[in-house]
Amino acid sequence: MSFERAGNAHSSSDQTTVRRANLGVVLQQIAGGEPRSRARVASDTGLTRGTVSSLVGELIELDLLRETGEDQRSGRAGRPGLALELSDRVVAVGLEVNVDYLAVCVEDLAGNVRYQKHVHTDNRRSAPGPVLNRLARLARGAEELIAAESLVSAGIAVALPGLVAAESGTLLRAPNLGWSDIAVADEISSRLGGVPVRVDNEANLAALAEHWQGVARGLDNFICVFAEVGVGAGIFIGGDLFRGSHGFGAELGHITVAPGGLPCQCGAVGCLETIVGQEAIARRAGICEDDKRRARNVTRELVRRAEQGDAAVIASLAEASRALGIGLASAVNLFDVDAVVLGGCLGPLAPWLVADVREALGVRVLSAGWSGCEVLVSEFGEGAAVRGAAALTLRSVLAEPWLVAERSVAVREGVS
Ligand SMILES: [Zn+2]
């Protein structure tokens, strides 16, 4: 985590700016490592002890920090100071609309999941309105828990499968849902009494979750491929999401890997998604619609059959791993990242994918002999995008801690 300390300033608005920046400096310093005393924060940041004490007081007041035990490593003679750690009272709500499920989670700033719920439901067969009603009900369940446990909600964000205009909160196009131009942020906000709601692409948020609490912690440059029915990716460059000019970048699922292949929901032909998504793998393995409906969870059914040695499923997975290797090697050639993360349904299916992907990166990436790009497997399962939706808010709390007070009031007034 990197940050710059704010310099000296004289006018009162400059002083407010400096103080706010320093609140972020202190909070990020404590978030970035083990609990530590005020004295250690002062020596680590170069701020005076008096300034640190005052900033810490404000952060405790905002429920962002708490005191815990004593810092035995303060390195000073005499009584060790009380150690500070992130408080677990400030939380964020993550929501997710996927093609075949809805999800909600509540995660606190310290990284604990306080509440999580997945509901399997085929949203392809539904108009947006009823789906968003169900999502809002899940959000209300989360808000009830937050109220019951006297937690402080810092905000709500929704992960969506498709092209998202994050600024306007609109889902522009979700080929696998058959939805277009849905103002999801406004729709959810109005169902929750006007609370502010943010939205983002599911694969971007899955990458954010991996960077925040997952297998990509501490990595500044990586590609997270997130597959469920569709296939997307989130690309981290220099410690932040690469979004392209319009926020539409990293649509790995729609790069062409089989010219002349099968038609894709997007209108093109031979996209990676026609070979690698859970539906594509099931279809190529000859698993019929009835079987998929009976199984409910297609990924679990694929794992079950692969473990039993089902030849058609294993052949389909081999085809998927070859296509995925080609797609990821192209992306690594472009972006020179340290790792690729296999997420979503690719996590449980990783035992049948990783070797081929690793081989493709070794053979097809020009710099493979010098850089070495790791293949990591997500541990979130279906939970990555919804965890990322919570992380979107929690990350902004670390960057701008003073906004917590305003946000929590807006959320409380909206929901009550
Ligand atoms: Zn496509």
pLDDT given at position 222: 98
The answer on 406 and 344 residing in a single domain is: no
* pLDDT tens-digit readout, 178-211: 999 999 999 999 999 999 999 999 999 999 999 9
pTM above 0.75, yes or no: yes
Tell me the mean pLDDT in the region 96-122.
Answer: 94
CATH number of the domain bearing residue 232? 3.30.420.40
Does a structural domain hold residue 140?
yes
The answer on 241 and 151 residing in a single domain is: no
Tell me the mean pLDDT in the region 323-335.
Answer: 96
Predicted confidence band of residue 371 (pLDDT cuts 50, 70, 90): confident
What the block records as the tokens of 2 is 């990197």
228 CA to centre of ligand 1 in angstroms: 14
112 CA to centre of ligand 1 in angstroms: 36
pLDDT given at position 408: 63
**CA–CA distance, 91 with 14 (Å, rounded to integer):** 30
Does a structural domain hold residue 102?
yes
| For residue 3, pLDDT beyond 80 | no
The answer on 350 and 227 residing in a single domain is: yes
Find the helix or strand (DSSP H, E) in which 257 lies: none
Within a 10 A sphere around the Cβ of 12, how many other Cβ atoms?
A: 8
| For residue 92, pLDDT beyond 90 | yes
255 CA to centre of ligand 1 in angstroms: 7
Predicted confidence band of residue 2 (pLDDT cuts 50, 70, 90): very low
The answer on 76 and 18 residing in a single domain is: yes
261 CA to centre of ligand 1 in angstroms: 11
| For residue 129, pLDDT beyond 50 | yes
339 CA to centre of ligand 1 in angstroms: 24
* pLDDT tens-digit readout, 299-317: 999 999 999 999 999 999 9
The answer on 254 and 185 residing in a single domain is: no
**CA–CA distance, 286 with 392 (Å, rounded to integer):** 39
pLDDT given at position 297: 86
Q: What are phi and psi of 134, to 5 degrees?
A: -65, -40
pLDDT given at position 413: 65
Does a structural domain hold residue 298?
yes
Range with the poorest average pLDDT among 51-55, 125-129, 406-410: 406-410
251 CA to centre of ligand 1 in angstroms: 9
393 CA to centre of ligand 1 in angstroms: 30
CATH number of the domain bearing residue 53? 1.10.10.10
* pLDDT tens-digit readout, 22-72: 999 999 999 988 889 999 999 999 999 999 999 999 999 999 999 987 766
Residues, CB-to-ion distance under 5 Å, ligand 1 = 254, 264, 266, 268, 271
Number of domains into which the chain is organized: 3
Tell me the mean pLDDT in the region 161-189.
Answer: 94
**CA–CA distance, 328 with 333 (Å, rounded to integer):** 8
Domain boundaries, position 26: 12-86
Within a 10 A sphere around the Cβ of 140, how many other Cβ atoms?
A: 15
87 CA to centre of ligand 1 in angstroms: 43
Length of the chain measured in residues: 416
Does a structural domain hold residue 365?
yes
| For residue 149, pLDDT beyond 80 | yes
16 CA to centre of ligand 1 in angstroms: 49
The answer on 40 and 109 residing in a single domain is: no
Query: Which has the higher per-residue pLDDT, 265 or 108?
Result: 108
| For residue 77, pLDDT beyond 60 | no
Does a structural domain hold residue 1?
no
Q: Helix or strand or coil: residue 105? A: strand
Query: Which has the higher per-residue pLDDT, 13 or 331?
Result: 331
The answer on 112 and 53 residing in a single domain is: no
The answer on 94 and 41 residing in a single domain is: no
Does a structural domain hold residue 225?
yes
The answer on 365 and 285 residing in a single domain is: yes
273 CA to centre of ligand 1 in angstroms: 6
Among 86, 108, 142, give the residue marking a domain's end. Answer: 86
Predicted confidence band of residue 414 (pLDDT cuts 50, 70, 90): low
pLDDT given at position 412: 60
Among 35, 65, 86, give the residue marking a domain's end. Answer: 86
78 CA to centre of ligand 1 in angstroms: 65
The answer on 288 and 164 residing in a single domain is: no
Query: Which has the higher per-residue pLDDT, 15 or 254?
Result: 254
| For residue 10, pLDDT beyond 70 | no
pLDDT given at position 9: 45
Of 143, 178, 141, 135, nearest to 159 by C-alpha is: 135
Predicted confidence band of residue 1 (pLDDT cuts 50, 70, 90): very low
176 CA to centre of ligand 1 in angstroms: 10
pLDDT given at position 138: 97
Among 60, 86, 112, give the residue marking a domain's end. Answer: 86
265 CA to centre of ligand 1 in angstroms: 6
Predicted confidence band of residue 4 (pLDDT cuts 50, 70, 90): very low
232 CA to centre of ligand 1 in angstroms: 10
* pLDDT tens-digit readout, 223-255: 999 998 889 999 999 999 999 998 888 999 999
pLDDT given at position 68: 87
Does a structural domain hold residue 7?
no
Contact of 94 with 386, CB cutoff 8 Å:
yes
139 CA to centre of ligand 1 in angstroms: 31
Does a structural domain hold residue 350?
yes
pLDDT given at position 264: 93
The answer on 266 and 150 residing in a single domain is: no
Predicted confidence band of residue 406 (pLDDT cuts 50, 70, 90): confident
**CA–CA distance, 405 with 416 (Å, rounded to integer):** 17
The answer on 356 and 241 residing in a single domain is: yes
